């Protein structure tokens, strides 16, 4: 169960990461990444119109060879093309070529004469930056062409900061907007906000014929090929449509990431036309909605981070990332709405990393706390086990059945008197007695509660479970008694010359019963200890050893819990604080 403080720290971390990612999402770097993610997802199984709404007439290399002229071609050549297209039954004709400046008067008049209400000519709008300010310059076709019946529309396109064309033009009199209204007879759909282009394929996806073929449709095209078609005429020079070299009127689009090819301007214009015609252009989420999604993705990290197993956590993280990316694609595919997955995915990953870092630091801190708290009480392997899995440790007071051992050295008073002039030596002697006894307790899985002079208190079955706690306590007691010969030999070598002290003995009291175990003390200082009647009885049993002339007294409950041991009954004794007698046993 997570503590309120732990949960609060997780929420705080998530909130900080969400705020950071919300701010970063406004940066150029994140916008570029968002654009790249749009390129990938919008071109993955894109929604396609039933059929293209535009046929392209390409000013391409074969046409250059067939016509045998350098660009710009004679304007009478374009007038001838218009005548052939009308003869072939085209519905509308758009020139993605800017006829802004006069050329030869006769040539210009030939083109003016070919104008009509079925013609749309490209205009241009550009922003010129000067040291003293910016100027928006609009370049229109020659006035005579417009007077001849043609309409004009701005063909300028705006790229994102990374040079990729993703957004629909926002001009109300845009090139394709004007063509749509001419061909459809209804106003083109308008949007007050920027929308993104749904591209339908890499360069070459639209039906395209060469300019020279359109000059003689009967010779080069199937019958009625151009009947009722909307055609766009412009450059499609493949030798200049490479990403590495750049080129004339060719653009990086969402498909460039996959195809490594630029898309001719006329094909981009055709794509814009079909976005208007089919309503497949894509809305962009407002900043506030993006911030909400980032916050939700960060909050998702709280669930992803709950499993302790790294494998499960990594699996949940991978599934969550797939859900974010897949959700972004589904909303794009079926809702025509773009919510970039990069910032939410980054927020999720950063939040998971932040929580994992906090948890790792907390585990390290808790490990040190466990080492500090139990290093003196438990065997090193048990301390490490608790440090590896702190849930094994309940630091609050709990009721548990424990086996408690009290041991006291008999005859230590005479040793202390012999060593009264050597306190350092007396300390070394106490350590020589308590160290081997403590090692025996720890080796049998016991927890040392405290030292009281030459007395040791220990217990089994806390903080780690020990189903055979009574058996292990009895085995430790046997080994402690057997160790007394070695302890007496060590003491003799440490006594001053001439000192005559009797051989020391040990009294041990062992009892089993339900106790309260946990951290006990004040807010400033506490110990992991036990309380309960079973503890008091174990202490009283140890105190009765000398009177009963035995080295160990064992309570009835402990005897019942260790049937593999052989015991002999010593006496029924009445201990202080109890009215009833207590049967006691020894080995």
Give the tokens for residue 122: 């490209």
Element (H, E) at 331: helix 310-335
pLDDT tens readout for residues 12-60: 889 999 999 999 999 999 999 999 999 999 999 888 888 999 999 999 9
* pLDDT for position 69: 87
* pLDDT for position 246: 39
Angle between helix 380-388 and 342-374 (nearest 10): 160
What secondary structure, in 3-state letters, does 442-497 show? HHCCCEEEEEECCEEEEEECCCCCCCCHHHHHHHHHHHHHHCHHHHHHHHHHHCCC
Say whether pLDDT at 545 is over 90.
yes
Say whether pLDDT at 249 is over 70.
yes
Higher pLDDT, 157 or 374: 157
* pLDDT for position 63: 94
Q: What would the mean pLDDT of 124-139 be, rounded to a whole number? A: 79
What is the number of alpha carbons within 13 Å of residue 172 lying toward its C-beta? 2
d(CA 546, CA 348): 69
Give the tokens for residue 364: 């390290």
* 3-state class (DSSP) for residue 569: strand
pLDDT tens readout for residues 439-466: 999 999 999 988 888 899 999 998 888 9
d(CA 553, CA 546): 10
Tell me the Ramachandran region of residue 585: left when phi exceeds 0, alpha when psi lies from -120 to 50, beta otherwise.
beta
Angle between helix 469-482 and 423-443 (nearest 10): 140
Q: What would the mean pLDDT of 194-222 be, rounded to a whole number? A: 94
Q: What is the pTM of this model?
A: 0.65
Give the tokens for residue 572: 């029924």
Strand 447-452 versus strand 119-130 pairing type: unpaired
Confidence class for position 388, pLDDT limits 50, 70, 90: low
Q: What would the mean pLDDT of 100-129 be, rounded to a whole number? A: 93
Say whether pLDDT at 392 is over 80.
no
DSSP state letters, 506-551: EEEEEEEEEEEEEEEE-SS-EEEEEESHHHHHHHHHHHHHHHHT-S
pLDDT tens readout for residues 299-324: 999 999 888 888 999 999 999 999 99
Give the tokens for residue 581: 């007698």
d(CA 286, CA 339): 9
């Amino acid at each position: 169960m997570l503590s309120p403080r732990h949960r609060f720290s997780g929420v705080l971390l998530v909130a900080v990461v969400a705020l950071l990612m919300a701010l970063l999402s406004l940066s150029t770097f994140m916008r570029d990444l968002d654009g790249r993610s749009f390129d990938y997802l919008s071109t993955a199984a894109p929604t396609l119109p039933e059929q293209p709404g535009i046929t392209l007439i390409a000013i391409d290399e074969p046409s250059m060879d067939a016509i045998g002229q350098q660009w710009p071609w004679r304007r009478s050549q374009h007038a001838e093309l218009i005548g052939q297209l009308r003869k072939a039954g085209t519905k509308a004709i758009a020139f993605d070529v800017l006829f802004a400046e006069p050329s030869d008067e006769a040539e210009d008049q030939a083109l003016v004469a070919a104008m009509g209400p079925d013609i749309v000519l490209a205009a241009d709008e550009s922003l010129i930056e000067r040291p003293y300010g910016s100027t928006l310059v609009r370049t229109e076709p020659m006035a005579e062409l417009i007077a001849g019946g043609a309409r004009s529309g701005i063909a300028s396109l705006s790229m994102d900061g990374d040079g990729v064309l993703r957004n629909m033009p926002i001009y109300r009199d845009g090139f394709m907007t004007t063509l749509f209204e001419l061909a459809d007879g209804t106003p083109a759909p308008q949007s007050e906000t920027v929308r993104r282009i749904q591209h339908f394929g890499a360069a070459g996806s639209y039906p395209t014929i060469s300019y020279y073929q359109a000059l003689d449709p009967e010779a080069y095209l199937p019958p009625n090929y151009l009947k009722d078609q909307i055609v766009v005429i412009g450059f499609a020079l493949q030798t200049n449509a490479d990403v590495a070299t750049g080129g004339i009127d060719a653009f990086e689009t969402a498909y460039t990431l996959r195809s490594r090819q630029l898309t001719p301007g006329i094909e981009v214009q055709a794509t814009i036309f079909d976005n208007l015609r089919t309503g497949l252009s894509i809305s962009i989420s407002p900043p506030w909605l993006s911030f909400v999604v980032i916050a939700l993705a960060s909050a998702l990290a709280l669930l992803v981070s709950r499993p302790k197993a790294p494998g499960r956590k990594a699996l949940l993280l991978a599934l969550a990332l797939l859900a974010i990316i897949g959700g972004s694609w589904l909303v794009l595919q079926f809702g025509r709405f773009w919510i970039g997955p990069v910032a939410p995915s980054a927020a999720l990953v950063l939040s998971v990393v932040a929580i994992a870092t906090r948890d790792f630091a907390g585990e390290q801190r808790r490990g040190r706390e466990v080492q500090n708290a139990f290093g003196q009480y438990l065997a090193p392997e048990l301390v490490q086990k608790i440090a590896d899995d702190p849930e094994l440790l309940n630091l609050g007071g709990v009721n548990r059945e424990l086996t408690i051992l009290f041991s006291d050295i008999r005859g230590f008073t005479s040793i202390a008197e012999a060593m009264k002039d050597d306190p350092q030596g007396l300390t070394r002697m106490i350590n020589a007695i308590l160290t081997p006894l403590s090692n025996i307790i720890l080796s049998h899985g016991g927890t040392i509660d405290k030292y009281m002079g030459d007395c040791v208190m220990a217990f089994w079955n806390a903080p780690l479970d020990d189903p055979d706690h009574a058996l292990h306590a009895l085995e430790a007691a046997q080994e402690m008694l057997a160790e007394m010969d070695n302890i007496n030999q060590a003491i003799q070598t440490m006594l001053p010359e001439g000192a005559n002290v009797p051989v020391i003995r040990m009294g041990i009291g062992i009892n089993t019963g339900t106790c309260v175990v946990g951290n006990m003390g004040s807010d400033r200082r506490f110990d992991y200890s036990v309380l309960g009647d079973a503890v008091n009885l174990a202490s009283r049993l140890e105190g009765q050893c000398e009177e009963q002339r035995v080295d160990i007294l064992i309570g009835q409950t402990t005897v019942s819990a260790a049937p593999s041991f052989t015991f002999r009954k010593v006496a029924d004794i009445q201990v202080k604080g109890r009215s009833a007698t207590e049967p006691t046993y020894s080995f």
